[in-house]
Amino acid sequence: MTKQFRIIYKVSIIILAILAAMLIGAIILWAIGADVLKTYGVILFEPLKSTLQLSEVLLRAIPLTIIALGISVAYRSGIINIGAEGQMAMGILGTTAIALLFPDLPRAVLIPMAVLSGAVCGAFWGFIPGILKAKLQVSELLSTVMLNYIAAQFYTFFLRGPMLDPAEITMGSGTPQSMRLSKNLWLDRFLPGTRLHTGIFFALILALLIYLLLWKTSFGYKMRAAGASSRAARYGGINVTWYLVIAMAISGAFAGMAGAIEIAGVHRRAIEGITGGYGFSGIVVALFGGLHPAGIIPASFFFGLLIVGADMTQRMVGVPANMVNVLQGIIILVIVATKMILADPYLMEKVWRKYQKRTHRLKEVQA
């Protein structure tokens, strides 16, 4: 097999996968009578046309990056974290609690403390399914999903009860939200006229940290070993269950930090619907980014683009914004299938033989 053929084979499979994903999406779009090409055009290119929209894309890429980094740590350690949605909600509660309790602390103390509190709450919410998996063999797929629903209820309970804005009680409008958080928590918005905040640098630093952790420390090596082959890792003397729990806690901490950054940078108070599917999109971003920080950063930009683009289709071509969930679902299915095809050497050999036969015949005909 020539090297050239290998590259062509892999590239063409990836192109086929992208086409397959777009085709399934096109079927749904066709079913609602939308202009397929125009809709894809709006989703993929419209947000890039103005600085404001572009900043919104980056704004959504920030939590996506942080969550996807956490999910990739868990995934590489052999545990799938679907609970980022709940962990993020718990992180928001932790951050809000600190900001409400100590509003007068100076910025340099309050921001790290609040983010840390968010990380701890998220880590705790990730630790639960981790320890359940390690000690009681509870499937993390089911426990994390259930914890998402539980966290969502905790979240509304706190927003309606202990954290409810006192102004809401006097006004009587009853919107479940906290009061505006202390100014000392706010992250700077460095691009005038947009909401883009300094959290973006925080996300990039975290990406670097995860890269160093997973590939440059023995701790990360052991984590990846546990995920690649738990049997071999156990034989090699690695305490696999322990790394599993740690990986889940790290994963939860990242989702919690994403929540902390989101309210400190964007909303500046805890309101309903902040998590809004970031936890699930994070899974897609992590997979799409190849579970590597260097891939996750562009992938989160791409999915930020999809989210903003899907919002715009609602106004411009009348396609509901839910379309972004459809696309994300298809992308997961296509990625996992494509990965298996690319990893199958037998299939590649089969195609190679067919290709050779054809070229032989062509040569004979030419001769």
Q: Any contact of residue 328 with another protein (CB under 8 A)?
A: yes
- Residues 77-106 interacting with another protein (rule: CB under 8 A): 80, 82
Per-residue mark of binding to another protein, 123-152 (x: CB under 8 A): ---------x---xxxx-xxx-xxx-xx--
Q: Any contact of residue 215 with another protein (CB under 8 A)?
A: no
Among 346, 363, 365, 366, binds another protein (CB under 8 A): 346
Is the CB of 160 or the CB of 267 nearer to another protein?
160
Query: Closest distance between another protein and the C-beta of residue 127, in Å?
Result: 14
Is the CB of 144 or the CB of 182 nearer to another protein?
144
Among 154, 221, 352, 355, binds another protein (CB under 8 A): 154
Is the CB of 17 or the CB of 57 nearer to another protein?
17
Is the CB of 58 or the CB of 89 nearer to another protein?
89
Is the CB of 243 or the CB of 280 nearer to another protein?
280
Stretch that binds another protein, among 24-32, 238-246, 251-259, 296-304 (CB under 8 A): 24-32
Among 2, 104, 161, 218, binds another protein (CB under 8 A): 161
Q: Any contact of residue 31 with another protein (CB under 8 A)?
A: yes
Size of the site for another protein (CB under 8 A): 49
Q: Which residues is 189 bridged to in the sheet?
A: 197
For another protein, the binding residues (CB under 8 A) are 28, 31-33, 80, 82, 132, 136-139, 141-143, 145-147, 149-150, 153-154, 156-157, 160-161, 280, 283-284, 287, 319-320, 322-333, 336-337, 339-341, 346
